[in-house]
Amino acid sequence: MKTLRKLFATLSLIIIISPFIFMSCAGSGSMEEKEKKVEELLSQMTLEEKVGQLMQKNADHPQLGELISRGLLGSILNEPDPERLHEWQKLAVEKSRLGIPLLIGRDVIHGFKTIFPIPLGQAASWNPDLVEKGARIAATEAASMGVNWSFAPMVDVTRDPRWGRIAESFGEDHLLNGLFGSAVVRGFQGGDLADPTTIAACVKHFAAYGWAEGGRDYNTANIPENELFDVILPPFKMCIEAGAASIMTAFNDINGIPATGHVPLMRDLLRNEWGFEGVVLSDWESLIQMVIHGYTPTDKEAAYKAMQATMDMEMASTAYENYLQELVKDGRINEKQIDDAVRRILTMKYDLGLFDNPYPYLAEFPELLDPSHLEAAKQMAIESTVLLKNNGALPLSADVQRIAVIGPLADAPHDQMGTWVFDGDKEHTVTPLQSLREMAAETGKEIFYHRALPLSRSQEITNPGAILSDVRRADVVLLFLGEESILSGEAHSLANIDLQGAQEELVQLVAGQGIPVVAVIMAGRPVTFEKIEPLMDAVLYAWHPGTMGGPAITDLIFGKVSPSGKLPVTFPRHVGQIPIYYNHKNTGKPATYDTWMHIDDIPEEAVQYSLGNTSHYLDYGFEPMYPFGYGLSYSTFELRNLALEKQQIQAGEVLEITVTLENRGDVEAAEVVQLYTRQLFGSRVRPVKELRDFQKVKLTPGQQKKITFKLNTRDLGFHNPDMEYVVESGEYHLWVGTDSRSGLKTAFEIKH
């Protein structure tokens, strides 16, 4: 990776928990005290003890207690029992020779006991403050059980909904990933890591994991260097600037070099250029998987490569444990390299306050699933839900008395939580059916419920006759469709992202009866449903909404609140369009509606026929089903009076943009006002649009507000063919709109 020394050179809520008073922690001491403590410990450690600090073992390891007692283990992961964690921490602190506490890792991805919407859904809220609040709650709940380190946020930019882990991502845009990832970092870590209610964040996966070929998990990532630095890496840089304590490496190789042993990426860029001093952790056995990749012939060589890349801690596998001491004796690794890694780990433990307060989870915290936590989860589920279609069917009027609730996701408490919910309990989930029945009991409405399909992927509809009978006597049909939680997440990629099983047949069964059909789709990714979309009068996309998804959806359906979610990822019409994303290049022959002819419209007698000669598919054209940033409301908003402070601006200056937003409808609602730019000509071809900023604004009926954006020209830069970060002079277009495909347009010029 060339010219790394000059790359990125220009880049440079807390919930009040009372009345709990926590003991003071060493982590709040001075820098001198911290360095003195760390160096004193380091000077007393044997090489074997140092290597032990670089090891993270799964909780089922048969020799865990022995390793801890001998001071030969730095971290444990995947233990949900707080009593066992307490025992192990006690062994480390009171039985080992130097009393070094353990890092306790856990995948706290979108909640601990209170489960929030999946991260992709959180991004659909376009509300980083709300996501920060959710992360603060998750940290508090996890810390109360003894966890002090979470393997989140994931800021892998991805443009492929086939990839199962898109559920953990904040979508296809690097700005959204950076902003929401930073919000999670702040929420987890609070204002001071030594506060016992905080946990350390671990930003993952460094890097390019979301670029896996074909959306197949763990696959190779072939990515141009400029895309790596302009799209993939900025979210990591933003999270580091937010104070992230640690970073996790990726499973994939990047242009042939596995990320866990990528010296230019980790040592040269992350450490030397960015100055990251936190802990770098491998993903599960990703260190020894360098052998399987074909990058190193043995685990010993993998350990050598990882240490050269300044990878500090090995998750689950044993290459460091087995070979680091031998590599030192061979003279291939300097013990100072190991000292540096141990120093970073000890520093994180000190910052977490573990040396003075290793047992923070006894009686000092709010109850798990506290009412305030549940209310925050409900609010996030509300703001994450995207209204994709509405012909007037929503919100339901008070006159609606008989409601047919149909579908495999209407009452699926586990699936509703989504992927990565090791500590979530389905017993605490409130499903849409539960919530609707509670509402019906209070209002006298009737609910006719049919699961219809045992699972979302079931191939046969149960009791179709009874379903039709109830549909015909209902005032509205609420169809709860989507995918089970097991169909997304790690190792759960799909080649076909249509609604699974017989769900399309279910829609066809209930449609055409003269009864409005409202679809609520819960899924861990964008699913394709173009063939049946015309049969739906309204579509709410709720992702996997978490513990309080049911009440949130009920409030949206009955209009207690207006939908305000916006898509953080483009929805394709067909899987064959992938990759399809908003910030693509224009090409030399961009598609237009004037040039595209659908395959069904080609004359039968045509042998040689001009079809426009532009970049499109004959069968599915060039447009997505729903564009990035899209989402409807129960109200109507108007943008007007777009104005720039000036039309010409010097590089390095800030451009002020103003626009007026008015709520022209009759309900209070929130709208996300989005700012995009395009550089028309550059030393590299530039994207047709790039998101630069956004504001979520709530207005009452008739209310209007003047919105101001401040656009710093340095944020308009990119890496030129010499891999220098530059802001080039020339003409730029600017849009302010409510999605990536619409809006008011103007232009400005940058001069040097």
Angle (nearest 5°) at CA 750 between 745 and 752: 180
Q: Is 283 a catalytic residue?
A: yes
The two structure tokens encoding residue 85: 């964690």
Question: What pLDDT does residue 30 have?
Answer: 84
Summarize pLDDT for 223-273 with one digit per residue, the tens: 999 999 999 999 999 999 999 999 999 999 999 999 999 999 999 999 999
Q: Is residue 6 predicted with pLDDT exceeding 70? A: no
Lowest mean pLDDT across 516-525, 617-626, 670-679: 617-626
More confident position, 478 or 611 = 478
Task: Measure the CA–CA gap between 499 and 504, rounded to whole angstroms.
Answer: 7
Beta strands in 97-195 (DSSP E): 103-106, 149-150
Residue of 107, 173, 283, 411 marked active site: 283
Nearest one of 236, 217, 221, 260 to 156, comparing CA atoms = 236
Q: What is the enclosing helix (H) or strand (E) of 732?
A: strand 730-737
Q: DSSP assignment of 46-110, as one string?
A: -HHHHHHHTEEEETT-TTHHHHHHTT---EEE----HHHHHHHHHIIIIISSS-PPPEEEE--SS
Strands 654-663 and 648-650: unpaired
Q: State how far the Cα of 694 lies from the Cα of 128, in Å rounded to an integer.
A: 11
Q: Above 50 in pLDDT, residue 126?
A: yes
Contact 733, 678 (CB under 8 A): yes
First to last CA, the chain: 30
Band the pLDDT of 23: cuts 50, 70, 90: very low
Residue 12 confidence (pLDDT): 33
Q: What are the boundaries of each domain within the chain?
A: 637-751
* Encoded tokens for 538: 């309204």
Model confidence at 5, in pLDDT bands (50, 70, 90)?
very low
Closest CA to 670 of 710, 634, 706, 641: 634
Q: Where are the beta strands (DSSP E) in 230-319?
A: 246-249, 253-254, 257-258, 279-281, 314-315
Which positions ≥6 away from 502 have C-beta within 8 Å? 453, 458, 459, 460, 461
- CB-based contacts of 183, cutoff 8 Å, min separation 6: 128, 129, 131, 132, 135
DSSP assignment letter at 16: P
DSSP, residue by residue, 317-343: --HHHHHHHHHHHTTSS-HHHHHHHHH
CATH 2.60.40.10 fits 637-751, yes or no: yes
State the pLDDT confidence band at 19, using cuts at 50, 70 and 90: very low
Pairing of strands 517-522, 476-482: parallel
Share of the chain above pLDDT 70, in %: 95
314, HSE (Cβ side, Cα atoms, 13 Å): 31
**pLDDT for residue 362:** 61
> Which among 430, 429, 395 is positioned nearest to 538, based on CA atoms?
395
Q: Give the H/E segment covering residue 133.
A: helix 128-144
Arithmetic mean of pLDDT, 708-714:
97
Beta carbons of 475 and 440 less than 8 angstroms apart? no
Q: Give 661's strand partners.
A: 639, 705
Q: CA 573 → CA 570, 613, 654, 693, 751, distances in Å?
A: 10, 21, 39, 27, 41
- pLDDT exceeds cutoff 90 at 540: yes
Task: Give, as one character, the DSSP assignment of residue 310.
Answer: T
pLDDT (tens digit per residue) in 565-598: 999 999 999 999 999 999 999 999 998 888 777 8
User: pLDDT tens for residues 347-388?
Assistant: 999 999 999 999 876 667 889 999 999 999 999 999 999 999
Tell whether the model's pLDDT for residue 16 goes beyond 70: no
**What pLDDT digit, counting tens, does each position of 57-86 carry?**
999 999 999 999 999 999 999 998 999 999
Spacing of C-alpha 545 from chain mean position:
14
Q: Output the pLDDT for position 739.
A: 98
Q: What percent of the chain lies above the pLDDT cut of 90?
A: 91
Report the candidate in 127, 236, 230 with the shortest Cα–Cα distance to residue 182: 236
Separation of alpha carbons 345 and 360, rounded Å: 20
Omega cis (within 30) before 258: no
Query: What is the pLDDT at residue 216?
Result: 97
Write out the H or E segment, with its range, that includes residue 518.
strand 517-522
DSSP labels, 220-244: -B---HHHIIIIISHHHHHHHHTT-
| pLDDT per position as a tens digit, 41-59 | 999 999 999 999 999 999 9
pLDDT for the residue numbered 512: 87
Which has the closest alpha carbon to 499: 515, 465, 522, 516? 522
Average pLDDT in the chain = 94
Model pLDDT, residue 594: 81
Q: What is the Cα–Cα distance from 523 to 409, expressed in whole angstroms?
A: 9
**654 pairs with which residues across the strands?**
712
pTM of the entire predicted model: 0.95
- Higher per-residue confidence, 314 vs 6: 314
- CB contact at 8 A, 360 and 22: yes
Closest CA to 246 of 207, 182, 200, 194: 200
Which residues have a Cβ under 8 Å from the Cβ of 130 and sit 6 or more positions away?
A: 376, 379, 380, 383
Q: Is 685 left (phi over 0), alpha (psi -120 to 50) or beta?
A: beta
Residue 148 CB neighbours (<10 A) = 29
Instruction: Tell whether the torsion through CA atoms of 483, 248, 355 and 53 is positive or negative.
Output: positive
Are the C-beta atoms of residues 185 and 153 closer than 8 Å to each other?
yes
Rounded to the nearest 5 degrees, what angle is found at the Cα of 276, between the Cα atoms of 275 and 279?
A: 155
